[in-house]
A and B are shown apart, each in its own frame.
Chain A
């Protein structure tokens, strides 16, 4: 098992190294090495994941215990030792399934999608590096290795967002993502310091055990635990793009679409959710921090959903829906529904990866056009993409029996049962909103009249097989994975896998497993009804001419509806302008922060440097002035002596020395 897990890391990094070294010379054939490495890694990952989940030796399969080992002692410094340790348990396994599968399919998809790009080999090298980093992130057995992997995925994200670095907007978006993430990472690293100073170890299992003992012994104030939890959560907020650090993710859509699918939908942005789930023993000791997690999550969910309503860029709609769904996951974590949150992570990874890859296929078909106002009526032209994206959208909307339905309803149900009624209510509204904006997107893209530029319209084509196959496979996964893992609700396979892991935390929080009852059925029916409502509304407003069902285009209706609702104009403007967050941050950090920076710079240059330089200037000036006295003529000096003598004599006579 050690060999397999090591291989899991070695394959992508070897693929990265090989591609980086010789990829340029391979030209269009550069994909063989990296894709081969990832396909092999996928097979290895599946073996590892399923032996963990089914409890094959060396996994005991009991109490969520995992299997860990150390590759080598990384930092031996007295009391402080850090191993490059790897750890696999059921939580890791669940993540491995998503990361490996989506990663593998995205690699295959990229063969076709990036075909005409001059940076072909560079793209695959970065993707391999990302896979290595992401796998290291989920396999890490201590905070420091996790942090290193955390930064590595951040680096890959930066490199890949700015992949088309000649485009100014891409370079700026990459920089924005990197800088906003630093804010979160600052909190995260402070949290890690705090863990080290309180328990003296960074290994997950030891640290959690040590923390529990300290708390039991009363050696740790409750506010300190809350502080540690909140600091760690700050890192998750940055990486998973939650409010108020959510601004980088929509801009990250400047990267190539496979990157958006892999990094900014299915894997890296989930790292925050994974990390909070991994640190669940800390959060369980700090119920206040849990409330913050739930609050931030559900607020992000509704905020992002409201923005997704009016975006016209197909990828931005998906980006905001990713934010919204990540918000759901954090809400799930916050209310103590750890299993449901990870379940949603898994299903979301699949269906959002599918949707992004589908949007890439659409963009490919209409010649790099992302504006949905220049699409429409594409359903007949690109049927494979249409069918698979329809599956993804239905899953996203939460229509049974697709993936999104199971996981989302588990989160909402847990929120309700665990007493977080506000979280449930907001989540319930967001369920309807999600269905609405997803089908607005589908309507604008695939249905109705074609608004494609005439010279492009003739050349619309379905994507090559290398892109279609991943779409179909992901669609198939989206169809089955929800029912496979989540049925019956609150008692599915995913619960058998993950519940033992989170049991201590749930006990600590005083949450009990309740049988799935009538209340839950009512909740599920309500949320499905809500989703259907949103879906139907979107279809009615945007679904003109959907296949056989021909609706009259009801633009007039749409405008009348908007005009009839009080405050709608304001909400519309707020949504279009993303609630002015970018403008607010521009004002706060670029304008005001820039002014403050300029003022500090002035202070530094004029006052701090100025005082030092001033002393030097005065000395130089004094020297220059006194230089006049040094004439080199002996009589001038003698005059000085004589005057001094006269002065002394006069002073003596005046009685100064007496």
Chain B
């Protein structure tokens, strides 16, 4: 394995920072005076600038610096966070991403424009700085009279590894006012246990300054998450008790510090109470550790697990014919471990849909600007987990759906008021899991789908006969036809007639389906039903001739026996009447040219995609099979009957039938036969 390019490592880190920044900014838009959000954005900007410079992304660093400066002012209470600033920095963020991806490109014009916007936003914000200070006295109050603070801080042992110099904090504190520093070396281990690269010291500082508590906290801004920090305000202006002999005015005299007496009036009980307080503070809570692993390695691991399962099943076969109890026990143990390992493997690939939903907040932000409509985006069920590949492939279809909802679904402010609805339109993204499927829905409270217009459009396009009676659901489904769009005006957002059919294709390629519900005047809901993962499906294992095949279980509607008489009667035609409806069927034995005799008890497996059904005639239904999907080689690209392959317990390969394709094959066959008749 070669070492990864450091620039790539930075890119991954930068992507994360930009993501945090975007989320922070979008939250900030709603809670402009939330200090923690301002800090979070500032930190992301600062780190991006720092790491960018470190990895040679100098233009990025230089550009980010301007945004950082702007946010620094907000943080210090010198300026106010305004919607203009937030949106300028949001745009700047997109530019930062461009700089990360293509540092050598020509960005000069873009940069100038963005900096002008930023400048305009900043000068707008400075106009009211006093107001902000007055508004939030509790947070940014600047006491005019000098106060004496007592600050105790300890840093984690690995502080030096991160390149942090504790002395710099002391220097900053000293710059704020009169300062007395006492070294706390109570945690210093005996010499033989001392690790020279670790930090064991803590400091106790008495600071007399006219600066606020927030200013003092800012000194520790970048280490705050990992450190223990206590800042004690003076109790009602009463002078603090002397902490330590004033001899130690200089930290550079460690020998003297070591010799100094520990502060006698150190309040021990409080120190003991500190861990409890730490636990309560969400910032100090232990972060969930995660490891970034390239997806190919997961796939590799999956292959290894697949192999192991095969070896295990061989072992099981040997054990079954052996009388050795020990061997049998080991085999059973192996079986249990293998199935657990497989389950764990599956879980590894799952990520919460929150990662997907978060992207649409930005989209909605931009849509508000472009459509001039007020839109509230709400989400729920973000913790629902799905396979990462599925999530990636859902991203684009959902963009279409959200855009459609914003552009076609939601009315403008006036129309909404006239209809007695709140002025801001609502778009709701929700996810929930039912069995092996996740249902993701996009709901708007707009005008709903205009059936008359859909009908008119469909008639004009020749999709339905004029005046034909058509079920409501079927009528609605027409909007998924290629080239269909009811918007009379083409906007740059949507309405080009591409979109819905693209969405439908994308969802079908994920083995999913789309439901559409719409009430005139009340809004629409598009629900996507998606299997949890692409890597594994529940399948029905069947035998056709000598080959074994897997039919994806979600597509299976029912299995019925095909008696010999019925089989003979149906010779020559390709329909069976099933509860008064004619179902076209395909004899897989003939399609696959097995050259075998039909089994006396053939079965028909009825599969469907949405409304269309087709019966597949198989020789035998073997049973349910959890299928790990392997893709087919490029050499078999021309074979459309199969969507993939899987490895069975005995190590042999079974092909997975592509239901969508077989159904359309059945439909074609039906159309041909109708034409003949």
Q: Do A and B assemble together?
A: no
